[in-house]
Amino acid sequence: MVAIQNSSHTLTPETTLRDIIKTIPSEYFEKKPLRAWFGVLFSLVAAALGYASIAFSPWYLLPFAWIFTGTALTGWFVIGHDCGHRSFSNKSWVNDLVGHIAFLPLLYPFHGWRFKHDYHHLHTNKMGEDNAWYPFTVEEYEQGKGLISGVYRLIRTRFWWIGSIIHWANLHFDASLYPERQQEQVKFSYRLVIVFGAISIPALIYTTGLLGFINFFLMPWLVYHFWMSTFTIVHHTMPDIQFKSPDKWHAATDQLTGTVHCDYPAWVEWLCHDINVHVPHHVSTGIPSYNLRLAHKSLDENWGQYLYKTKFSWELMKDIGDRCHIYDAEKCYKTFAEVDPAKSI
């Protein structure tokens, strides 16, 4: 659902991202150490409560404990996300330290993610460049027939929630995928993750058994990836949001109109530090997560008619999964049935 309302600014081909940024009050870009560290404390307490609930819950309440804990760990990722964008602290070493610590329990390499994610922000919804939920063309789908296209079908339909796991595994543990100047940092991050996992996972299994590994790590980790997959696909994938070829892509237009604001249950938004308030984040990555709502309100007042707003529901995910399959330059997407009628979804 796109919200249409009056706004005081008009988006034209001459509009730049700087023009949009200038309409957001400058104080919303200010880093506030107390707010940032309160977010860290909040997520630490939330995760501790989650793990305590796993430890003491009867078996029939464990799914709720897994969901709460995995969602709290998604908040850890959002703190690392701020660090990656240098919106947590003015000191790079603090951003790197906190980012690595926040990402380690998720087994996520910080620098590898940071570089790929920055590239996503530079080329949001640009065909051939964006690396977040990039849609296959008909030609790419046909060329990938077999395992690649089969996995693509899964994550574009009812198994969208494993997309983040595939993205994590494919892009962040291979330094050759990065420019040479970034490779040493990428190697440092994924080696740190490997060492951490090689120590912590056997220790967890030794002290709590295989069931403890499933309860305390695997299930919350899968919930975390559920939210990562869901947030990411919803942020930029709607039946009426167009990925564009580089010659037709326009930074201001496609960052503002190609990014989705989605409302989730309040407890999810609290635990995940408002990462769902995503339009201002694509206008400027310099806005800390605790100022996203204020920045969104400003954008709504100035550019409201261009903002795409929706609400999370299973119907929304079904609509995306039923329609947003193969890139189409005219109508945004074709379904698998249109390009591969011999197969059913």
Q: 197 forms bridges with which residues in the sheet? A: none
Residue 345: per-residue pLDDT: 47
Reported pTM: 0.93
- Helix, strand, coil share of the chain (percent; to 5): 65, 5, 30
DSSP-derived secondary structure letter, 134: P
Residue 144: per-residue pLDDT: 83
Residues of the chain with pLDDT under 50: 1-6, 345
Domain range annotation of the chain: 17-339
pLDDT in tens, 156-211: 999 999 999 999 999 999 999 999 999 999 999 999 999 999 999 999 999 999 99
Residue 247: per-residue pLDDT: 94
Residue 91: per-residue pLDDT: 97
DSSP-derived secondary structure letter, 247: T
Could you tell me where the beta strands, DSSP code E, fall in the chain? 260-263, 308-311, 326-328, 332-334
Burial class (CB within 10 angstroms; exposed 0-12, middle 13-18, buried 19+) of 230: buried
C-alpha distances out from residue 205 to 57, 59, 201, Å? 19, 19, 6
Residue 343: per-residue pLDDT: 63
From 262, 214, 216, 212, select the one nearest 236 (Cα to Cα).
262
Phi, psi of 69 (to 5 degrees): -65, -45
CA distance 198 to 222: 19
